[in-house]
A and B are shown apart, each in its own frame.
Chain A
Amino acid sequence: MYGIVNKGIRDMVIRNHGESVWEKIVVEAGCQEDFFMSMEVYDDSITYDLVGAASKILRTPVHDILVAFGEFWMIFTATEGYGNALQIAGNTFPQFLDQLDDLHRRLGTTYRDLIPPSFVCEEIDDQTLKLQYHSHRKGLTSLAIGIVKGLGQKFGMEIELKILKKKEDIGYDEFLVKYTLMQNETTKKLNLNIKKLNNEKGKCPFSEFRGAS
């Protein structure tokens, strides 16, 4: 997996739990280094080990860690400089989701070793869609759930997600996704959080390496 993923996990842990917790996770995961270059490919096992260690140290199920990371991913990539690029990927929640494969395909020309998942959408009505999640990797269903939720937040949508079919049975996961416009207060709060994150980035030039406090 590309280093940006591990970097994202690091960022999320440091933001929510502090640098000392991240150091414990690194030790627990048996990582030789805790600095990751975004454009460098690292063994998948490092990411799995970090998630496993985070689950142990934070005493939180792996599922919850992955969902949280999926949600965080949209904010993280935006603050890592991909915000504008992501903005051209779609103007609405269903449009963005529908274009995720195209986005990954295009990113693949830069990230040559990218092995992205595939998201196949089928519109049910103007607030519901059926989503297939195909991945070459194991155990990342929860991450997909988080990403869809995070994407919903990006567009100010309240997301309800139901697993219809599982990868173990049909080779991919199928979800029913309901999306409704968030209440104003929730949206405002979310926007404030994103703004705060962006400001922190701006203040601390080393935040990728030392983490924002």
Chain B
Amino acid sequence: MRKGNVHLVSLEGLAKIFQLIDQVFPFHVIINRELEIIQLGKNFKKIDEVFTVGNSFTDHFEIVKPIIETSFQGFSNKEKEAFILSIIGKDLSFKGEVVTYEEEGIILFLGTPIISNSEIFLKYNISLSDFAAYDSSPDFLFSMQAQENSYREIKSLVKELQLNKRRLLRSNSSLQQFAYVASHDLQSPLRTVISFAQLLEEKYGKNIDPIGKEYLDFIIVGTKRMQQLINDLLEYAKVEQAQANFEIVDINTLVEKVTFDLQFDIKKQNAKLEFSKLPSIYVNLTLIKQLFQNLFTNAIKFRQLDDPIITIDFEERETEWQFSVKDNGIGFDMEDGKKIFEIFQRAVGLESYEGTGIGLAICKRVVEKHKGKIWVESESLKGTTFYFTISKFLSRSFK
């Protein structure tokens, strides 16, 4: 019996225990007081034919951990500790624990191979069936492989994403350049068409019949509209190409400047601007000025019979500023709420008003360049409120 127990096990009983151990622990070693192997798990023979009952434990094994004297007493003193045994001359180790039966002079090592890769298994002819069902060592191998696969997948995905990001940046940059160059270069021939159409009307207008005049008017109106579209596209391209240039801007002063720039329209439409003290924030002055200007212009343009009233408000939040620009205009159906921020898109029912549908697309890009978002709440005939946020954490460059 083990330490502290009184009875000894009969030889017959011992044989049964050995038999049981043989069935349950396929990688066990039983040695006697003289360190002779008296029983070996069946898998040791598969690993190497040299494993033989009767040989000394030290002929085949080396104790890696714990550091003990290789003796019965040495084993006995370290019961319950994790043991690591390596097979002499082979790159195969076992982990397990030791049980000593002092009275009977028996030491049991109950362990399992340490698995670091499957090559070891193939090398030593061990397969899954050689492990006891309760032994989770091979599971670790699958776990490791799954982890490696996931890592590989994520790494490839990141590479793919980086590649796509670079492609997108390149294509975006080319598109911006194209929009800028195209809109810039288109101005000149367009001006020529308009000028000569107007000259034609002035000089030869009397000789042109009413239908011809109507056609000429179509040409002039169409080309002017095209000029407006190109101008707006150019503005949009400028926003895209704008550098960060962030600075502290007093929004009160900025709103006053915008009001001054729009004074003609404001006076003509008898519009009123209402706002309490607005904050000073870190932004790109030119872009934010354009943002307010576009929103005010919209509020004045889409007025009802009542005088336009524009209310500006803000809210400070932990990471951002939230502004709102509210009007009492004609409003629109909220189904168009997202569409209106797309380039050349306009809300249904507002097509008859002047404009190209680029102003709000510019607002969206300006806000995005300030790491914010823009949205709208509107109700037909009740007015519209535009909300936008500006991040408090802007880096020195647009990303």
Chain A interface residues (CB < 8 Å from chain B): 35, 37-39, 80-82, 84-85, 87-91, 95, 99, 102-103, 106-107, 109-111, 205-206, 208-210
- Taking a contact as CB atoms under 8 Å apart, the answer to whether A38 and B141 are in contact is no
Partner of B139, one of A37, A91, A95, A106: A106
Partner of A84, one of B118, B127, B139: B118
A209: chain B residues at CB < 8 Å are 156-157, 160
- Taking a contact as CB atoms under 8 Å apart, the answer to whether A206 and B127 are in contact is no
- Report how far A82 CA is from B145 CA in the complex, Å: 7
A125, chain B: closest CB distance, angstroms? 21
Chain B residue at minimum C-beta to C-beta distance from A83: B118
- Report how far A23 CA is from B145 CA in the complex, Å: 29
Which residues of B (128-187) have their CB < 8 Å from a CB of A? 128-129, 133, 136, 138-139, 141-143, 145-146, 148-150, 152-153, 156-157, 159-160
- Taking a contact as CB atoms under 8 Å apart, the answer to whether A81 and B148 are in contact is yes
Any A CB within 8 A of the CB of B354: no
Which residues of B (205-219) have their CB < 8 Å from a CB of A? none
Any A CB within 8 A of the CB of B70: no
A87: chain B residues at CB < 8 Å are 118, 121-122
- Taking a contact as CB atoms under 8 Å apart, the answer to whether A110 and B133 are in contact is no
Write 19 A-B pairs (CB below 8 A) sorted by A numbering: A37-B153, A38-B150, A39-B149, A84-B117, A88-B126, A88-B141, A90-B127, A91-B127, A99-B129, A102-B128, A102-B133, A106-B128, A205-B159, A206-B159, A206-B160, A208-B156, A209-B156, A209-B157, A209-B160
Chain B interface residues (CB < 8 Å from chain A): 117-119, 121-122, 125-129, 133, 136, 138-139, 141-143, 145-146, 148-150, 152-153, 156-157, 159-160
B118: chain A residues at CB < 8 Å are 84-85, 87-88
Chain B facing A: main interface SS: helix
B128: chain A residues at CB < 8 Å are 88-90, 99, 102-103, 106
B145: chain A residues at CB < 8 Å are 81-82, 84-85
Chain A residue at minimum C-beta to C-beta distance from B129: A99
- Taking a contact as CB atoms under 8 Å apart, the answer to whether B143 and A110 are in contact is yes
- Taking a contact as CB atoms under 8 Å apart, the answer to whether B142 and A205 are in contact is no
- Taking a contact as CB atoms under 8 Å apart, the answer to whether B149 and A81 are in contact is yes
A114, chain B: closest CB distance, angstroms? 11
B143: chain A residues at CB < 8 Å are 109-110
Given contacts A39-B146, A81-B148, A106-B142, 13 further A-B contacts (CB under 8 A): A38-B150, A81-B152, A82-B145, A82-B149, A85-B145, A87-B118, A87-B121, A89-B127, A89-B128, A90-B127, A99-B128, A209-B156, A210-B160
- Taking a contact as CB atoms under 8 Å apart, the answer to whether B136 and A88 are in contact is no
Chain B residue at minimum C-beta to C-beta distance from A91: B127
- Report how far A110 CA is from B141 CA in the complex, Å: 10
A88: chain B residues at CB < 8 Å are 118, 121-122, 126-128, 138, 141
Partner of A38, one of B117, B119, B142, B153: B153
> Known contacts A88-B126, A89-B127; is A206 also within 8 Å of B156 by CB?
yes
Partner of B149, one of A80, A90, A102: A80
B146: chain A residues at CB < 8 Å are 38-39, 110-111
- Taking a contact as CB atoms under 8 Å apart, the answer to whether B153 and A110 are in contact is no
- Report how far A110 CA is from B133 CA in the complex, Å: 16
B59, chain A: closest CB distance, angstroms? 28
B139: chain A residues at CB < 8 Å are 106-107, 109-110
A3, chain B: closest CB distance, angstroms? 9
A108, chain B: closest CB distance, angstroms? 8
B115, chain A: closest CB distance, angstroms? 9
Chain A residue at minimum C-beta to C-beta distance from B117: A84
Chain B residue at minimum C-beta to C-beta distance from A111: B146
A205: chain B residues at CB < 8 Å are 156, 159
A109: chain B residues at CB < 8 Å are 136, 139, 142-143
A113, chain B: closest CB distance, angstroms? 13
What are the 7 tightest A-B residue pairs by CB atom distance, in nearest-first order?
Answer: A84-B118, A109-B139, A88-B121, A110-B143, A106-B139, A110-B146, A81-B149
B141: chain A residues at CB < 8 Å are 85, 88
B127: chain A residues at CB < 8 Å are 88-91, 95, 99
- Taking a contact as CB atoms under 8 Å apart, the answer to whether A84 and B122 are in contact is yes
B150: chain A residues at CB < 8 Å are 37-39
A70, chain B: closest CB distance, angstroms? 21
A146, chain B: closest CB distance, angstroms? 22
- Report how far A91 CA is from B138 CA in the complex, Å: 16
A206: chain B residues at CB < 8 Å are 156, 159-160
Chain A residue at minimum C-beta to C-beta distance from B136: A109
B136: chain A residues at CB < 8 Å are 106, 109
